[in-house]
Amino acid sequence: QVQLVESGGRLVQAGGSLRLSCAASGRTFSSYAMGWFRQAPGKEREFVAAISKSGFSTYYADSVTGRFMVSRDNAKNTVYLQMNSLKIEDTAVYYCAGVEAHYYSSNYYTGESTEYGYWGQGTQVTVSS
């Protein structure tokens, strides 16, 4: 299993950039496909981005494509979410999540929250005008 801790969330002005980090414990981080989700007040949790265990394949929600970039450093047991050109509607609690993918292709990824078995506690991102 793996424990996930997000960090980097803060108040930022619209049009600005922010980088979130998700630190994972354990020796098997490289076997997990990872994802980022977010939840705004009064709304359901929604998919943001995903990355395969190899880091070579990525997947983004339409709302963030071209603005957000997900990456990982398996040597550091860390996943990142680089957020650029932030909009007010990006305001939400951002969560990282992991799914054990040892037996899956190195290119496997998923945007379905139900596929993820491990979740962090979230980090607040607030975008102001």
DSSP string, 13-27: ETT--EEEEEEE-SS
User: Which of 125, 115, 122, 128 minimizes the C-alpha distance to 32?
Assistant: 115
Summarised one tens digit per residue, pLDDT across range 86-121 is 999 999 999 999 999 988 888 999 999 999 999 999
Dump pLDDT digits (tens) for 5-41: 999 999 999 999 999 999 999 878 999 999 999 999 9
